Amino acid sequence: MEIDAEVLIAEARRAQERAYAPYSGYRVGAALLGRSGRIYTGCNVENASYPLSLCAERAAVAKAISEGEREFLAIAVVTENGGTPCGACRQVLREFGEEMVVFIADTHGNSRRFTVRELLPESFGPEFLR
């Protein structure tokens, strides 16, 4: 299956608009492409008790898993300044494969392409528990 970065980034931008970020003002949107071809979106959801906040990437993964998707090809993440996923999100993405493509985009039209392996080298994954 071909990965259309522009479509994924556009979906992530739409998700970013729905972010709930009243404390930081740092709105994040994500769009996760399942092997099925379906796209699952997520946005960050902050909480007054900061540790309970949810990142956009993990929201998209949870949505996909809850709907039965288990294999992913790519994710696009959009922030105002092109910030990369936090460590927790990198580890969650790693659960589903080191070769997953990660597009990082900002609101000015710039984007970069990585793999999970590039963002989280020497990572721990499911194969170590077998």
- Nearest-CA neighbor of 83 among 125, 24, 126? 24
- Nearest-CA neighbor of 21 among 45, 50, 54? 45
Angle between helices 56-66 and 5-17 (to 10 degrees): 110
Point out the residues that are catalytic. 57
